[in-house]
Amino acid sequence: MKTTIPKDRVKAFLEKRWGTISDFCQLTEGLSSQAFGFRFDKNNYVIRINTAIDGFKKDAYVSQMFRSESLPIPEVVEVDYMKNGKAFCIARKADGIRIQDLEVEELPQITKSVVDVVGAIANADLTGTSGFGRFNSKGEGAFSSWNAFLQSIWDSAYYDWNRVHNQLDRHTIEKMFTCMANLNKYCPETRTLIHGDFGSYNVLTDKSSITAVIDWDLALFGDPLYELATLLFWNEDHMTHVREELQLRGNTNYASERLLCYQLHCGLQELYWSTANQGTDALLPWIINRCKTLIQQK
């Protein structure tokens, strides 16, 4: 649930903590965070405020560990709690705009840059990290294998599907489980960095290159084709050229089976999160229809 703090209180908090700031303004918010921009000592920053701190700590870890010239990630400079118990994260503001905000005719010219960034993510140095699946702010994945992460989707220790069965088509869920179980054997124990929510809202550009990849709270370790699968699942218009190029490059062993398996996994997660964690999400009907389309492919 999104926290809401008045704009003037956020500004007062920053000036008490940092000193005089300028150019303070409210920014486009995420699903669960407030965001504000400000200028301090000739540098531009963004402060995000949320009820939970774990995602912010993970952003800080990813920024410190994986930021490079080929993988631009905003530098996180402070993560802590406010006196009211809300968590905050302050990072240097990246130049550019979201891919989602580009005109359609501007998209082809950044395709190569986006694809190169996807490659940089998959080639990130994982020294000092461990495990598979979503990792914490210490770089520790929750699972001992990639298949264990995938199979956890129907494990009641991680997903209590009985909580949401009244809101979902159980027949569709069971078919997705069965289809995934049949496809798991094609999924290799490959371990790379995966953003997990790579899309037009989380990639910034100056219209010629990529200036930042943001919001790493869903990042994980595993098969790099999972990145393409999330793009295929959401099927964003602004990422069409990127999907097509990645599919051309991603024609590896059992690629179609792996991509379908991972899309089903994405769909099941979204179905669960949209109901169990957030109540009835406005996107739920679209997600259900997308999942039904996927199981028809098998």
Q: How far apart are CA 227 and CA 255, in angstroms?
A: 12
Backbone angles phi, psi at 101, to 5 degrees: -90, 0
Q: Output the CA–CA distances (angstroms, integers) from residue 184 to 187, 260, 267, 293, in the order listed.
A: 5, 10, 15, 19
Could you identify the residue written with the tokens 């992460």?
149
Helix (H) or strand (E) holding 143: strand 141-143
HSE, CB side, 13 Å, CA atoms: give it for residue 270.
23
54 is catalytic: no
Q: Output the CA–CA distances (angstroms, integers) from residue 296 to 114, 245, 290, in the order listed.
A: 30, 25, 10
Q: How far apart are CA 238 and CA 231, in angstroms?
A: 10
Closest to 236 in 3D by CA, of 101, 130, 50:
101
- Residues 198 and 243 sit within 8 Å (Cβ to Cβ): no
- Residues 272 and 159 sit within 8 Å (Cβ to Cβ): yes
Closest to 60 in 3D by CA, of 72, 71, 74, 48:
74
Q: Which token pair is 127? A: 């020294």
Helix (H) or strand (E) holding 235: none
Which one from 197, 215, 217, 223 is the annotated catalytic residue? 197
Q: Which residues are catalytic?
A: 197
